[in-house]
Chains A and B, each alone.
Chain A
Amino acid sequence: MGILSVLVFLPLLTAFIVVLVPEQKWQRIRWICLASTALHLLLTALMTWRFWAAAGQNVTVDRKSLLTEVYLTEKFTWFERFGVDYYLGVDGMSVAMMILTSIIIFTGVLASWEVENRTKEFFALLFVLVTGVFGVFVSFDLFLFFVFYEVAVLPMYLLIGVWGTGPKEYSAMKLTLMLMVGSALILAGILAVYHYAGITTFDLIQLSQVQYPVDMQTWVFPLFFFGFGVLGALFPFHTWSPDGHASAPTAVSMLHAGVLMKLGGYGILRVGVYLLPEGAIQWALGLMVLTTINIIYGAFGAIRQKDLKYFTAYSSVSHCGFVLFGICTLNLMGMKGAVLQMFSHGIMTGLFFALIGMVYGRTHTRMIPEMGGLAKVMPWLAVCFYIGGLASLGLPGLSGFVAESHVFLGGFFGNQWFDAGVTRALTVIATMSVVVTAVYVLRGLAQAFQGPIVDHEFEHLTDAKWFEKFSTGTLIVALFVVGLVPWFLTDMIETSVYPILNRILQAGTLVGSN
Chain B
Amino acid sequence: MEENWKCLSELSWLIPGLPLLGFVLVGLGRRWLGEKLSGWLATLLVGGAAGLAVATAWTYFGYFGIGGKGPTVVAWSLPWVSYQELLKVSVGVLIDPLSLMLMVVVTGVSTLVHLYSLGYMAGDSGFSRYFAFLNLFTFSMLGLVIAPNLLQMFVFWELVGASSFFLIGFYYTKPSAVAASKKAFIVTRFADLGFLLGILLLAYYGFLMFQDLDSLQSGAYTSAGLQVLDFEYLTSLAVVNRFMELQGGTVLTVALVLLFMGAAGKSAMFPLHIWLPDAMEGPTPVSALIHAATMVVAGVYLVARLFPLFAGSPSALELVMVVGAFTSLFAASIACTQDDIKRILAFSTLSQLGYMMLALGVASPAFPLGFTASTFHLFTHAFFKALLFLGAGSVIHAVHSNNIWDMGGLAKKMPFTHAFFLIATLAIAGIPPFAGFYSKDEILLAALTSGHTWVFGIGLLVAGLTAFYMFRLYWVTFIRPPSSKAAEHAHESPWLMIVPMNVLAILSVVAGWVHFDDYVNSGFQYMVDHDSRVPLLASGAAVIGIGWSAVLYLGQKVKATAVARAAGALYRLIKRKFYVDEIYQFVTHQVIFRFIASPVAWFDRQVVDGLMNLSAAATRAMGVGLRTLQTGQIQTYSLWFIMGGMLVIFSIWITFYPY
Contact = CB atoms under 8 A, between A and B. Distances in A.
B197 to A, nearest CB: 6
A451 interface: yes
A447 to B, nearest CB: 9
Given A304-B598, A333-B84, A395 B158 contact: yes
Given A236-B611, A434-B193, A443-B182, A304 B601 contact: yes
A487 interface: yes
Nearest to B177: A450
B193 A435 contact: yes
B17 to A, nearest CB: 14
B81 A486 contact: yes
Interface string B143-163: 000000001001110110010
Contacts of A3: none
Contacts of B207: 413
A438 B597 contact: no
A373 to B, nearest CB: 6
Given A303-B593, A401-B155, A431 B604 contact: no
A396 B158 contact: yes
Contacts of B600: 297, 300-301, 304
Contacts of A408: 196, 200
Interface residues of A, number: 54
Given A301-B601, A409-B87, A451-B173, A174 B189 contact: no
Contacts of B197: 428, 431
B149 to A, nearest CB: 13
A442 B608 CA distance: 27
A427 B200 contact: yes
Task: Name B's interface SS.
Answer: helix
B203 interface: yes
A333 B88 CA distance: 11
B585 to A, nearest CB: 14
A439 B186 contact: yes
Contacts of A401: 155, 158
A297 B605 CA distance: 12
Contacts of A174: 612, 616
Contacts of A210: none
B582 interface: no
A380 to B, nearest CB: 12
A136 interface: no
B155 A450 contact: no
Interface in A206-248: 235-240, 243
Interface string A292-330: 000001001101110000000000000000000000000
B204 interface: yes
Contacts of A305: 601
A236 B606 CA distance: 12
A36 interface: no
Contacts of B151: 405
Interface in B340-382: none
A235 B609 CA distance: 11
A174 B172 CA distance: 40
A239 B82 contact: no
B260 interface: no
A489 to B, nearest CB: 10
Given A239-B609, A301-B600, A438-B189, A376 B155 contact: no
B597 A487 contact: no
Task: Name A's interface SS.
Answer: helix
Nearest to B602: A304
A134 B174 CA distance: 47
A452 interface: yes
B175 A451 contact: yes
B165 to A, nearest CB: 8
A366 B570 CA distance: 48
B79 interface: yes
Interface residues of B, number: 48
B155 A397 contact: yes
B185 interface: yes
A490 B81 contact: yes
A78 B185 CA distance: 57
Nearest to B196: A431
A486 B89 CA distance: 12
A178 interface: yes
A303 B597 contact: yes
A344 to B, nearest CB: 13
A186 interface: no
Contact of A452 (B154, B175, B608): B175
Contact of A396 (B159, B190, B598): B159
Nearest to B156: A396
Nearest to B191: A435
B130 to A, nearest CB: 14
B526 interface: no
B169 interface: yes
Contacts of B609: 239, 243
Interface in A269-296: none
A453 B598 CA distance: 27
A442 B172 contact: no
A300 B193 contact: no
Contacts of A431: 193, 196-197, 200
Nearest to B613: A174
Contacts of A239: 604, 608-609, 612
A360 to B, nearest CB: 22
Contacts of B174: 451
A252 interface: no
Nearest to B597: A303
B178 A446 contact: yes
A87 interface: no
B193 to A, nearest CB: 6
A244 to B, nearest CB: 12
Contacts of A390: 162
Nearest to A484: B80
B596 interface: yes
A20 to B, nearest CB: 39
A450 B189 contact: no
A413 B207 CA distance: 10
Nearest to B593: A303
Given A236-B611, A435-B189, 17 more contacts: A174-B616, A373-B173, A376-B173, A390-B162, A396-B155, A405-B83, A405-B151, A412-B204, A434-B189, A434-B192, A434-B193, A435-B186, A438-B189, A442-B186, A446-B169, A451-B174, A490-B81
25 contacts: A174-B612, A174-B616, A178-B612, A300-B601, A301-B597, A304-B600, A332-B84, A375-B172, A390-B162, A395-B158, A395-B159, A395-B162, A396-B155, A405-B83, A408-B196, A431-B193, A431-B196, A435-B193, A438-B185, A442-B182, A442-B185, A446-B179, A446-B181, A487-B79, A487-B81
Q: Which 8 A-B pairs have the closest CB atoms?
A: A396-B155, A303-B597, A304-B601, A239-B609, A300-B600, A412-B200, A450-B178, A438-B189
Interface of B: 79-84, 87, 151, 154-156, 158-159, 162, 169, 172-175, 178-179, 181-182, 185-186, 189-190, 192-193, 196-197, 200-201, 203-204, 207, 593, 596-598, 600-601, 604, 608-609, 611-612, 616
